[in-house]
Structure 1
């Protein structure tokens, strides 16, 4: 029964995802041929909407695209990460040439150099001109493509801000070159590396050795994570590594949890609301786009402000609620809360009652507002 439920859930997820995927041929002058793309757009994507989304480029898109978009669609649904524009490049017939490098320099050459330029000089500019994407770019690869994505780090201005390298077939000198390059990064960069106990032995040994060189790099701009999965092989580690990598990359984006509430919101010297402002400013700085304050974070800041008797934070939070959610019960609830804590019961009742005509939110409905009204009237 559990297997049946899992299968049905997974099937429904794929159906949802497939309904959003665009299959598109792309004529490349760098490659001198047409390449097939798979493009996933966010749910409800509209070209007229000015929202900008992170761009995820998936190499080996023939088989790696689906596990990537499945995880992104799932985690973004729960607001643990932003929705993304995901582009997979199909390479089943050309991957050996696409990822080739010189036997002398160990950098891309011939067809490999052409593919390198295709991604950076043709594909990314085309996606940026066609869809609403931010400058925060992620690249994902496995095996040969996981090695190839490293080459974009060696440009004067690296093309990507996050690299997901799953069981890379590392080129000679790649580990020492990364050891030399990563300490020099001047922009926040996320680098995820994974292998497994049952990975291809030759690859596993080189990846573990590479991690030994990279794990102690002292650069506050580098956010490095390594996993060596037990009971996984060269292929199954992909299903384990992708969610771990995404979780690491978008840690700052996540809603405030209990640990963050206890260790950061409650203890922030300038107060809970100031912490909320800083959190969302950091999100904009890190990821290059603005995140609308979510209801979960309103709840956390309100709870901290009440616990600390911080009326200034509650007042600022009520103003933010009215600005961001004017048609939602959120605006009425947090404004009513502010006046209730201030002791102005008449004003509190006025706002709680006005919220009855607004749209319910995830956590606030008509019954909740009526309960507050009856409580204050008594």
Structure 2
């Protein structure tokens, strides 16, 4: 693939977070018989001593694809739309033809391609798992030839990845037929993202559209598929459009409670708002394989629903949860005070609000809010 120095290149450069700390290291591979350069991006405030596990994102064609992936994961995790991730890129600019080699007879990895296939699954990922706090929720990202290559891992008896991001793949012959046979058989939640563009390479786009046509109608509750055909984009610029769309799709169940979810699910949940919150976070852990800390947005949504439904018990449980999740923040004192107000115990409500003045402010709860509550109760 030719290197294209364009406005798009500058956009990708600026998408990379300036504060990011990237680990560059050579990786000696017995499978490849040579050293391969890798890049590792750890989440902000990463602490190996904590028990937090992070999704692992493996980026092929890491020479140019690693930075836009890192920029998008860092940005979206900052706003809590996706979890913090550990991103690992594999540089391949001098080896990609060999790395992605497949046999014409089978259209599956062969020779050097088979070695690279085993390098990822048997060497690189185990190394990352041994040295960093990663969960078993793994995402593979590829573009062009590497996008086709990540398909092969879905055909293992136990697929190596839970999410596959194919950005304008140069598909092997019969891949559409292979995928149409495999996707209905998946028995574990798997995300599959496919993207092309109106000005994509014509021969690639024809095959991509054929793949989309073969899998878009598959009925399998475990197969989560999204396809994008971007306007005003080409083979290279679609990368910057596809990555955030893919992350949004992959972590759609992880996102904080939206207005739509609040109206259609939280308020309508028969067991009550707090029970809905517990169910949501249990589902996240079950679905993605790691725990999510309850975010402040969701505490606000559940408090609002509890007040609207006069559900004092939900407020009581929510206040307890807020104190557990944010012991040094005003959040716990604020929701505890709210519970006591709704329960008619104004003296305890006042004491709760006053106790919060010595704690740390949050994104939504500050000293002025507590003082307003205190003055209101005193009057």
Q: Distance in 2 between matches of 1:158 and 1:13?
A: 30
For 1:153, the equivalent position in structure 2 comes to 154
Matches within 5 A, 1:1-378: 11=14, 13-17=16-20, 20-378=21-379
**Shift in Å, 1:14:** 3.7
Structure 2: any 5+ residue segments left out of the alignment?
Answer: 1-9
Change (3 A) 1:14 1:356: closer
Q: Distance in 2 between matches of 1:292 and 1:14?
A: 24
Change (3 A) 1:10 1:263: farther
**Deviation per CA, 1:264-288, whole angstroms, max 9, x where unpaired?**
1111111111110011011101111
Q: Distance in 2 between matches of 1:10 and 1:213?
A: 36
**Shift in Å, 1:44:** 1.2
**Deviation per CA, 1:211-265, whole angstroms, max 9, x where unpaired?**
0111010000111000011111000000000000000101111111111111111
TM-score by length of 2: 0.96
Change (3 A) 1:170 1:135: same
**Deviation per CA, 1:116-161, whole angstroms, max 9, x where unpaired?**
0000000000000010000000000001000000000000000000
SS in 2 for 1:15: coil
**Shift in Å, 1:16:** 1.7
Change (3 A) 1:65 1:12: closer
**Shift in Å, 1:322:** 1.5
TM-score by length of 1: 0.96
Q: Distance in 1 between matches of 2:337 and 2:283?
A: 29
Q: Distance in 1 between matches of 2:205 and 2:152?
A: 20
Q: Distance in 1 between matches of 2:293 and 2:104?
A: 49
Q: Decide whether the 8 Å contact of 2:16 with 2:68 is kept in 1.
A: no
Q: Distance in 2 between matches of 1:125 and 1:245?
A: 25
Q: Distance in 1 between matches of 2:231 and 2:97?
A: 29
Change (3 A) 1:140 1:110: same
Q: Distance in 1 between matches of 2:110 and 2:14?
A: 41
**Deviation per CA, 1:26-48, whole angstroms, max 9, x where unpaired?**
00000000000011000111211
**Deviation per CA, 1:54-79, whole angstroms, max 9, x where unpaired?**
00000000010011001001001111
Aligned length: 370
**Shift in Å, 1:303:** 0.2
Q: Distance in 1 between matches of 2:154 and 2:247?
A: 19
